[in-house]
């Protein structure tokens, strides 16, 4: 009997994953990854409740249950990476780094060492012979967050939810009487719960006031509490009153200045070519040609011509795209196959 360790987060997706695999005849063990336990001012970290929920479902299913403590590694590999990137004025994605470094590396290695044949998670994605495919539910598809996982790791991974839509998953969990069937999906940063990125960062970086400057006129329009908290294309949270809405079109980290405009057609906001570094291919690198790319999670797929410049990738887009910020990930697809991607320079 194939032994599968399921990453159980205490949510409905991973609960149903464990239930389905047990029904399919696998020898299932639930594993809660303890990645983050720190409370933030005014925000209690939900880890203890999530652990209790995961344990409760494991008892309900009659499967073994373990806790893997990755908190130390998580802090170094994910949290510090994220803070360092923001300090440089970039816009990183901690969920992508978590999948690369923790779920499909640390968890996989620990599970295999512990006697598992495979691992499984509640991600909305499909995998076939180590090839990553988009989920049937394109609205919930999570391949954007999985593009830095290796084909070797995916060959040892099961994604049972890839064939279902989210409403179906809820219904199936309900039919099985799973304790977490009606539990709301977690929001905010992947490891902290409901807290927003601004609140989280402010615990680790000093809030230094600086000027918000109109890019065209050079006029000072107001003050901000740190350029680190703003990202390209941002409209909300600027607190500049009156008239047309302002958009962030740039920032100078050394001067701690944020530049804004009311001009939605400002050239800084729109690009028709993207350069990617830290490129990762799940299997082999694709040939030159036309592919589909996703600039951020839930963004529509758009066509782009892919070429190489040394180790970097250059993408030429048919249509200009808005708010392409350095540090963000661009993920590249060939039809339903997720090939990999890279980080915007």
Q: Where in the sequence numbering do the catalytic residues fall? A: 98, 190
Q: What is the rounded CA–CA span in Å between residue 78 and residue 80?
A: 6
Cα 160 to chain center, whole Å? 19
Residue with tokens 């032994």: 3
Is residue 118 within 8 A of residue 2, CB to CB? The reply is: yes
CA distances from 51 to 3, 58, 101 (A): 22, 11, 21
Secondary structure, 3-state, the chain: CCEEEEECCCCHHHHHHHHHHHHCCCEEEEEEEECCCCCECCECCCHHHHHHHHHHHHHHHCCEEEEEECHHHHHHHHHHHHHHHHHCCCCCCHHHHHHHHHHHHHHHHHHHHCCCCEEECCCCCEEECCEEECCCCCCCCCHHHHCCCCHHHHCCEECHHHHCCHHHHHHHHHHCCCCCCCCCCCCCCCCCCCCCHHHHHCCCCCCCCEEEEECCCCCEEEEECCHHHCCCCCCCCCCCCCCCCCEEEEEECCCCEEEEECCCCCHHHEEEEEEEEEEEECCCCCCCEEEEEECCCCCCCEEEEEEEECCEEEEEEEEEEECCCCCCEEEEEECCEEEEEEEEC
């Amino acid at each position: 009997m194939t032994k599968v360790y399921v990453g159980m987060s205490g949510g409905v997706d991973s609960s149903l994953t464990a239930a389905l695999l047990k029904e399919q005849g696998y020898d299932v063990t639930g594993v809660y990854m303890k990645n983050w336990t720190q409370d933030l001012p005014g925000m209690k970290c939900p880890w203890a409740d999530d652990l209790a929920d995961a344990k409760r479902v494991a008892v309900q299913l009659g499967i073994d249950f373990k806790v893997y403590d990755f908190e130390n590694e998580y802090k170094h590999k994910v949290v510090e990476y994220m803070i360092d990137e923001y300090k440089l004025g970039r816009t990183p994605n901690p969920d992508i780094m978590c999948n690369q470094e923790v779920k499909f590396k640390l968890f996989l290695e620990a599970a295999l060492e512990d006697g598992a044949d495979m691992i499984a998670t509640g991600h909305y994605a499909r995998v076939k012979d180590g090839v990553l495919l988009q989920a049937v539910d394109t609205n919930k598809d999570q391949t954007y967050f999985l593009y830095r996982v290796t084909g070797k790791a995916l060959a040892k991974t099961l994604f049972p939810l890839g064939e279902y839509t989210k409403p179906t998953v809820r219904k199936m969990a309900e039919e099985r009487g799973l304790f977490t069937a009606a539990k709301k999906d977690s929001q905010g940063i992947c490891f902290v719960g409901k807290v927003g990125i601004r609140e989280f960062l402010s615990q680790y970086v000093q809030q230094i006031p600086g000027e918000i400057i109109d890019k065209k006129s050079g006029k000072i329009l107001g003050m901000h509490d740190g350029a680190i908290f703003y990202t390209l294309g941002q409209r909300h949270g600027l607190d500049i009153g009156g008239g047309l809405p302002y958009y962030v079109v740039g920032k100078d980290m050394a001067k701690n200045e944020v530049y804004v405009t009311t001009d939605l057609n400002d050239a800084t906001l729109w690009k028709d070519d993207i350069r990617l570094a830290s490129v990762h291919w799940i299997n082999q690198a694709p040939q030159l040609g036309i592919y589909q790319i996703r600039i951020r999670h839930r963004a529509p797929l758009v066509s782009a011509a892919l070429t190489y410049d040394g180790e970097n990738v250059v993408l030429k887009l048919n249509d200009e795209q808005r708010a392409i910020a350095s540090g963000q990930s661009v993920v590249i697809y060939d039809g339903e196959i997720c090939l990999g991607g890279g980080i915007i320079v």
